[in-house]
Amino acid sequence: MVKKNTCVFISGQGTNLKNLISCSRENNFPIKISLVIYNNRKANGVLYAKKFNIPYVFINTNIKNYENKVLLNLKKYNISFICLAGFMKIISNKLIKNYPNKIINIHPSLLPKFKGLNTFSRMIANNEKKAGCTVHYVNKKLDGGNRILQKIFFINSNDNESILKKKTQKLEHRAFPEAIIKVFRNI
Ligand code: GRF
């Protein structure tokens, strides 16, 4: 199997990155993590790239035309697929146009509910019964692209934000690899 060269974009802890790296080391997983892009110097997730000898590039996404540097690096590493795993920057049209239907994101809610930030506090305030995560394609609308896969759990009455986050992340670590397999099965 020829694995697709994939770039993972991160801004934080990188637990999803870590999980994807470990999946991608399996023979029959469809992607190879060939590059990590991060936009936060304090992103701990970069340590996983270092540990597994994966090239990593810091990009300051606050500067004008930062996408040019992103695109140059994607080209350099022959990247054909992109996973956003906790990347705290809205992906611009310039990148979407260059990678149509090739960028996917993981979001900690059951989209279309709770797009954007602070999902867990809003769920609690809204007295939600269910929570979960969604893997979806990235398009021009924030958290609005076609959904690939969702995983759901029922919220207990004593679940606070940090418990919801833990439970969601546990599901994310199953959802992201499954979604990637689903994407490549359909191509
Ligand atoms: C995840 O909860 C994901 O849903 C959201 O950002 C978080 C990233 O977590 N988009 P990590 O950096 O992979 O640990």
List, for residues 49-58, the tens digit of each pLDDT value: 999 999 999 9
Residue 137 scores a pLDDT above 90: yes
* Longest pairwise C-alpha distance within the chain: 50
| CA angle (31, 22, 25) in 5-degree steps | 55
Helix H or strand E encompassing 21: helix 15-24
| Span 16-49, pLDDT tens digits | 999 999 999 999 999 999 999 999 999 999 999 9
Task: Give 21 Cα–ligand 1 centroid separation in angstroms.
Answer: 15
Is the CB of residue 134 below 6 angstroms from any atom belonging to ligand 1?
no
> Cis bond leading into 112, ω under 30°?
yes
Mean local confidence (pLDDT), 154-178: 97
Paired tokens of 36: 């990590």
Give first-to-last CA distance, the chain, whole Å: 14
pLDDT at position 187 is 66
Instruction: Tell me which residue has its CA closest to atom 6 in ligand 1.
Output: 86
Paired tokens of 163: 């418990």
Residue 107 annotated to the active site: yes
Q: Specify the residue for token string 């809204």.
A: 126
Task: Give 58 Cα–ligand 1 centroid separation in angstroms.
Answer: 18
pLDDT at position 140 is 86
Residue 133 scores a pLDDT above 80: yes
What size, in residues, is the chain?
A: 187
Residue 126 scores a pLDDT above 70: yes
Task: Give 96 Cα–ligand 1 centroid separation in angstroms.
Answer: 20
Is the CB of residue 16 below 6 angstroms from any atom belonging to ligand 1?
yes
**Confidence grade of residue 152 (pLDDT, cut at 50, 70, 90):** very high
Phi–psi pair at 94, nearest 5 degrees = -55, -45
pLDDT at position 186 is 67
